[in-house]
Structures are given as structure tokens and as C-alpha cells.
Chains A and B, each alone.
Chain A
């Protein structure tokens, strides 16, 4: 959400896709997230995936909850309808929207606070219902908008910017999505466009509940103790008249590594995460295998990335409900209303 409109001017020589759209046609407003935020990298990947798929931007409905991640739909697909709902409730709103018009593409964008804490139930139930959607969690382990509290995906033993140690176990949304029957489950890293773009494209093309957990470093709250550029340091060395937070931007983190390898990524605060990209011979059609694979590498402290599971024959909530192919929002009285004759018969049966 921004006050600043992005200039519409663009170079006439920009590459176009099958529909004749350029990248710019898939962009939205200028991001107001911190410079270097992983979420902006995810936004770029969404734009890239939609461009490559030659999706008509206005045929996408982008729905989010509340939080840094949930602000991002304003920054891509500017000609799409967006809906910034309430905290943790994106899945239900998306489900309703999907029921109303099955012909649109539904992109749900959420955060770890949004989906793993307050919205954990809605996340779970939208997955188990098989709503045809691409559900992306931009996962940084903290609440950014309220300044750094732990989210439910924060690792046990990790420390907050204020030095508090997290004593709760972390929720692994990918493991949960697998268990709940998601028919497309992937994990990636915000800076790994090589991996993330095709994953998003594949998820959009998948009919059923697609879930992608994207690890996304937070510049603001991976930025603590010892740093001369941390909030606390700046506060202590600044005679400002109030206590506005000061953020110093960083370059976004980018990685590109080969399938089957482990890549250690240093985040903005110096902490490290080990990403393991699944190998080319990994079988993504084996749900139980995926769960075991995930658990085995989690025990080693590794975060597995890639397409973990897909059911190519999946169906969706509309199939379960046996709804008509015509979008429900286009049906009018002539097909919906049984009319007075039916009512007369009903009246007669109620005497």
C-alpha cells in the first residue's frame, strides 16, 4: 500500500508475452516494504510467473490477510482485483470468492503470522477442502508490522531482536499441508527465482489446493544485537525527538544452487539457514515419501526446497460440491428461482 503511484511510462521495446503484455502489465504499485525485504523478491517472482504463463492479469483475484506479506498483492497485477481481508482469514474469503466464480485464478498471499498463528485453522481447512488456489506463505518467522514478535514458524531457541529466546516449537506449514491433503506442496526461498518462478507457475496451473511456503528474510527484524545498523544502535546514537524506527536497507538476498545440493544462506542478521534443493530423481507423486523426506532433513537442520508433492489428477472443491460449470455469480432469477407454481405446490403440502 503506497501513496506513490508507479509511473506508467515504459520502454516501447520491452519484451512481450503471447498476449502482447509486458512485465510492466503485471506490476502493481511501488512497494513500501523495507528495501531488501524477501517479500519483494517473491512479488517479482509472481510477476515473472504470470508473465511467462501469459495470464490475463484481470482474471486473477489476489487475496490476502493482514501483515507485511499481505500488503504485497498491491505491488503486483495492478489490473487485478485485490482484497486485503482481516488477519488470518484470507483462506475463507478466497474460498467464498472461488465458489462464486470458478473461472478466475485465485492467488492467496499470506504470512507466517497470518497463516500459522491466527489463521492456522483457516489455512488448514482451505487446504483440506481442496480449494482451487495458489496459496503462498511468505515466511520470515516474525511479525513485521508489530515489530518483531515471534510467529509460530520461528525456530525453537531462536532469538528475537529484543533478545528474547523462543521456547515454542515451530510449525512446519509444508508438513501440515502434506498431511491435510494439499495436492501441490512446495517450498522455496525468496531469493531463488530460478526455483520459485516455475513453482509459482506450476501451482497456478494446478487444479486444486496448491501450497508454497517461501522462506523470506526480514530486513527489519533479522537485524539485531551487535549490529551498528540495528534499531537499538541507531536509537542510542541518535538524538531524534521521537522514537521513530529507522531502517537501513540491504540488498535482497539472492541464491541459485543446483538440485540435490545444500546451500547455506546468511540472512540480514548474520544467522544462517541451510536450504536443501530436492534432487532431480526425487519422486513428487509420493505423499508419504515427501513427508518422510521432509522429516529426515529437518532433523539435520535442513530446509528442503522444491516441489515436494503433486497429484496431477487432483480435483477441487467445486468437484466435491458438484457445482455447475457456469459461475454461480452469473446465475439470475430465471435459473435460480423455483417460481410461484412451485411455491403453490409447497403451500399445499404445508396444510
Chain B
């Protein structure tokens, strides 16, 4: 029995499922999250899984959040402890007053529990064993049975779960009915044997609206379809593989010629990342929209080619789904740790365009836009997702597309233009924006051909090691990068209710946690203006924002505050004014963490005046 009052909350709590990898629990757990959504209550789920195939612990956390906070909260209100290996850690992680749900088929010593939580035992193994004989069925239906029991405990509408099962097993009547049966086995047992509902409850609401529930990787892949990518070359690596897999699925659905059945796309699983980016560069050189998806180690391998893309000015799109590095790091944990590696990828003086979507909706938009940008700028564009967005379902606004949109193929000189006598110099800055014209191979019998190379050349693509020629070209590349500032998505600023000399900069998957943290900080008496950076090169408004504030916190998910480094480096800002707030243990950053880190620093500032830095 608990000696602390059990937690009581409607539509605002965190449930965490502790399972064994390979036990088939993912489907049931995801159904749990979706069922709450069907109640009109926002959820924010996260996979927390090891880098192995089977046997190791895996967790699935569902934050039920009527207020719509989509960042991780931290803490667990109810633990569904289905993994004996992690029992102690799982039980210890429950918030005081929280709930422990477990399989009570075998008696457990009282020392395995805590006095300040409510323990709910359901004999799941006994129920499944008495119902099913097949071992695999026993395993799989046990998951549905606990889903059923939870639906009773949390006061969920079983019809909404049945509806989901119906959608999942549409046309497979046998599976459909057996899953519904298992759901009610668990639900009925709980209703008959336990006090239902408990303090944590799901109540129907209308807070989901028209939002959709989608993984970032899938949305990015869809963006590639809408953005006109026809060539995808990739090499499997966590957490990016599902981008290429989703692209394949989307293409199969949308990109086959109805008459011939032939594919309007080509997808190649390369032998490695080097080949993948090589294929992308070859295809882009030849006028197709091409991309690859990878993660940090893949970026490392691709850097030689990325330098070629920069210097030879060939479009390329790389979707980098970041994970914790360096080296193999923590392959299944999230971070934003490839900022510097991507911004300056390759040897020599290079700079690359980075896009930082905050959620799947932006991942879709930015992925599509990346192909326009790549062709407009004739360079590599990085779409910088991370595992937290890429591999988790996220509630986001519906995806939108303007049917009047035509692709921006950039400055391509056609045979007609050449015939008209237009001067073609492959690296000639005709318009003063640093962007030259290119021709596709095969354009004209006698005009417009050139030799592409990674070596230095003059404005007419003629090999040259003349210092002034080289410097002229490098300066033009700088101009082109400056042009990019106004083509990439601009930062979004949101000001505090009261004027403040403190600001915060953040980006990407930190966004929902930051939105929530601002509220927590306000409650603590701290006002902050916010700037969400959405791309590199930085728009001039970044420098303005820095100039307008005495101190700016830069919140990011890596050890070395890489975005801060980039801001300092590119803007010539006094580093003292940029306060790093970093979170890098591989778990998604939380509002609690941000609010504490910034709040503590703010409190410190109030009592210890620091010298006002000079920019």
C-alpha cells in the first residue's frame, strides 16, 4: 500500500512501457498512443531503444498532454514494467505517488516494490497461457492484453481502440477479431479485479484538431517525393534508414507510370556512403534531383565528395538524421552533434547550407525546398534532422502543398540560350549573386560543354592554378553563400510579454521543449525573447537579435555547443554574451532541463553582475 497520495491527473501524465526488444510490443504500445489521440488528447511518444536486434531493453514513453506539450517532460507517472532485467531501474524511475503496472503471475517479494507508489498487478502470463497455446501468440497477445487492462485503468474508450485495430487489420478478419478478443480479455480482467479507473485518466477532449501523427523520417521522404527527387542512393545506417525505406514506399504509391507500370524514380542501395553520395552527385550533375540519407558516420565518409560538390558546384541533398557520436557513439540515441561537421564538411575552405526543421511538418517542407535550394545554389544542402524527430511519431500540422508550384531548377543554360549567343562560362558570375550558369551534359553539339573537376579553374572552367584565378573563384563562392542567406528559411522570433535583455536561441527538435520551458521560466519570473534558427547561413536577423540582448542562451543537444560556435565564428560575436545550455546524454532535451539550466543562470546573473560584453 502506498504511503503517499496517488497521483491524480486527467490528460496530463507520462506512461512508460519497459519491454524486451523483439517481444512485439511496439505495435501495442503505439496503438496505446494512437488511442489517446483518438480521444482528442495530444500525445508525444518516444522510442528509447538499444542498438541491437533482440533481447536488450527497450522503452516506449507516451506523454499524454492536453496542453499540447510535445517535448519530452522527464519523469514517469506510470511504469508498465514488462522487462525483469530493468525492473529495479524502472521502479526507481517512477515519480512519487506514481503507478507500477506489472505481470503478477509470479509472486514478487515486497522488497521489489516501493512504498510511495501504487502497485497494480495483472496476471498477464496466466491469462495468456490459459487462452493461447502457440508461444508466439502468447507473446504477442500478452501485449494486447495489457493494453486492454490499461484502457480500463485509465478510463479509455475501448471502442476507439477497437477502431484502430480494425484499421490496422483491415481485410484480415481473423487477426482483427483475435486482437479485439485479447483487448477485452485484459480489459475485463481489470474491471472485475481492480479498482478502475485509477488517478490517471484519459478524458475525451478536442485538442488534437486536424493535426497529423507522423514520423519525421517519413515526412522528410515525402518531402523528397513532392520536391521532385528522382534519384535516391543510400546506405543503411541508424537512424536514417527509414528515410530511404519511406521514400521507396511513397514512390511505389505515387511514382509509377499508370500505363506502363514503370518507375519515375531510381533508388539504389549503395555499397557504402561514398558510393551513395557519388551517385547523388553524378545524377545531380546530369540534371536529376537526387538525395541521400545518412547519419554522422556516413557524413564522415562523404566529406570528400561534399567538398567536390562545393567546389565543382554540383547540387546535392543530404538528409542527416543525427545520432550521438563521436565514432559509433550511441547509434540509437538522439543528438544535434553534426552541426560543425556539416557546416564545414570537407577539407579546405568550405561552407554548406544547413536546414533545421523542428518537426515532421517542417521536415516535409524543408526537404522539398532543399531540392530547389540545391539547384538554385548548385551546392550541397543538408537537412539536419535528429533521431528524436526522425524516428518518433510527432503530432504536427497537416502537410500542405501548393499545386501551382513549379520546381526552381536554378540557372541552367539551354541549347536555345546557347544558340542565341549567350556567353557561357561555367563559373562566370553573370548576375553578381555568385551563382553561375550550368549546362546539362548533351545540351548542344558545339556549345556549352565544359569539364567538371575538383581542381582549380577559371571562370570558363579551364584548369588553372593561377593564384588570382583561384582567389577570384573562392570569393565568388563566398558571394554565393551570402546569396543563400536570403534564400533559406528565416529565423522565427517570439518576444516575451515584457521587454527583456535576455534572449534564447535554439533549433530543431529542441523546439517543443523550449516552448514549454518558456512558460516554466515565466512562472519563475524570467522573461526571454526567443529566436528559432532554421538555417545556416544565418540570416542578418540573427546578428540583430544578438545585438539587442545582453545575454543570449544557446540551447542545443551536444556537448560542445556547436551552434554557438558557429554563431560566434560567423558573426564575430563576443562569446561571453552567448551562454551555452547543452544537453547531450542521448535522451531528448526536456522543458524541465532547459528551465532549470536557464533559470539557475538567470538567478545567478541577478546577484552577480557580470561585465557587459562588447560586441
User: Which residues from chain A sit less than 8 Å from chain B, CB to CB?
Assistant: 1-3, 56-59, 61, 63, 73-74, 78-86, 89, 91-101, 103-104, 121-122, 124-125, 129, 317-318, 321-325, 328-333, 335-340, 342-344, 346-347, 350-351
Contacts and interface: CB of A to CB of B under 8 A. Distances in A.
Nearest to B270: A92
Given A121-B272, A338-B226, A343-B400, A94 B282 contact: yes
B262 interface: yes
Contacts of A82: 449-452
Which secondary structure characterizes the binding site on chain A? helix
Contact of B401 (A125, A317, A339, A350): A339
A80 B228 contact: no
Contact of A336 (B230, B440, B441, B446): B230
A125 B257 CA distance: 28
A96 B266 CA distance: 9
A332 to B, nearest CB: 6
B266 A321 contact: yes
Contacts of B271: 121-122, 124-125
B454 A86 contact: yes
A95 B282 contact: yes
B470 interface: no
A322 B255 CA distance: 12
B286 interface: yes
B268 interface: yes
Interface bracket on B: 35 or more
B445 A96 contact: no
Contacts of B440: 81, 101, 329
B264 A324 contact: yes
Contacts of B451: 1, 73-74, 81-84
A61 B260 CA distance: 28
A130 B305 CA distance: 23
Which secondary structure characterizes the binding site on chain B? loop
B279 A347 contact: no
A59 B286 CA distance: 12
A73 B463 CA distance: 13
B231 to A, nearest CB: 5
Interface in B288-329: 288, 290, 304-305, 308
A84 B453 contact: yes
B407 A97 contact: no
A330 B228 CA distance: 11
Contacts of A61: 286, 441-442
B463 A86 contact: no
B282 A63 contact: yes
B327 to A, nearest CB: 22
19 contacts: A81-B452, A82-B451, A84-B451, A92-B274, A92-B276, A96-B280, A96-B282, A96-B290, A99-B266, A99-B279, A99-B288, A101-B286, A122-B271, A328-B265, A328-B266, A333-B405, A333-B407, A335-B264, A351-B210
Contact of B452 (A2, A56, A83, A322): A83
A97 B275 contact: no
Given A92-B279, A323-B263, A350-B214, 19 more contacts: A57-B445, A82-B450, A83-B453, A86-B454, A99-B231, A99-B279, A99-B288, A100-B285, A125-B270, A125-B275, A318-B266, A321-B266, A323-B264, A328-B230, A330-B287, A338-B254, A344-B398, A347-B399, A351-B37
Contacts of B399: 343, 346-347
B443 interface: yes
Contacts of B378: none
Given A92-B270, A324-B257, A332-B407, A101 B264 contact: no
Top 8 closest pairs, chain A to chain B, by CB: A96-B282, A92-B278, A100-B288, A329-B287, A81-B441, A93-B282, A96-B279, A100-B286
